[in-house]
Chain A
Amino acid sequence: MRNSSLQLLKENGGGSSVVCLLYLCMISILCALLYTKMQAVKEIEIANSTMWKGHFLWLEAIYYARNEINDETLWDWHESGEDYQIDVEFDRMKKQVIITAWYRGIRKVKKYFYDFDCHCIFETEQ
């Protein structure tokens, strides 16, 4: 490869061959940049997808808590799988529910207060 390039340079003045080689180098650099960027985008997308899945798990837990408050049954809910865990724990005495959702390392815990008069949950105590 090196010999043939040198031969081209010697036989044909070499100006255009050098430019071609420079272009080849530039394209290689661009390809490397593109690959790096694509890897970064892929990682961000995986993180984003994990965040959304964890969020939907959280919404499911809120929906369960609201439903239980509406029915006034207040059954706790504990469910876990390989990569997720949901805990909804009611405290009738304190009138509060603690919701915990965990998905692939992302954990969210929040305490809500509930009111049987309006069958609603809220974040701050009245």
Chain B
Amino acid sequence: MLNQRGSLTIEAFVALFVYMIITSLLLAMLKSLHRWRSTDWYYFDIACMQLQELIAICEITEISSNELALLCNREEFEIREHNNRLVKSPGYQIMLTDVQDIEFSLDDETIWMRGQFQNEKFELAIAKREWWR
């Protein structure tokens, strides 16, 4: 009888331990799903779309690793990172915020923008070669 009671207690503790593991796993999954796509990333998507549209309308005149030169309706603009922002100058039109280590490159007929947004790496095809003549 004692043995039976003892074994039942051990079983209960094992069950509790397993439940704890399952609970923590489920909580972790919920947390990761919640953080998976925060609202900021949707703003980031919209900003990227605006940037792509601007580049599609304008002519790209020069690509360097930290700067993109554009000719929009006879006016020259530069897109570069400044104080963790992607800005269009002259003037100071902020295209993206919370960005770091922005680099532009031309690979496989596509202009890429790579960097970090809120300390997470991203890679975005911002223009196809045919868009700039």
Contacts and interface: CB of A to CB of B under 8 A. Distances in A.
Interface string B58-96: 110000000000011110000000000000000000000
Interface string B1-13: 0000100110011
Interface string A38-79: 100100110010011001001100110010001000000000
A34 interface: yes
B118 interface: no
Contacts of A126: 73
Interface residues of B, number: 36
A41 B36 contact: yes
Contacts of B130: 63
B57 A23 contact: no
Interface in B81-133: 128, 130-131, 133
A45 B73 CA distance: 36
Given A48-B42, A59-B56, A118-B73, A16 B19 contact: no
Contacts of A52: 45, 49
A109 interface: no
B72 A122 contact: yes
Interface of A: 12, 16-17, 19-20, 23-24, 26-27, 30-31, 33-34, 37-38, 41, 44-45, 48, 51-52, 55, 58-59, 62-63, 66, 70, 112, 115, 118, 120-123, 126
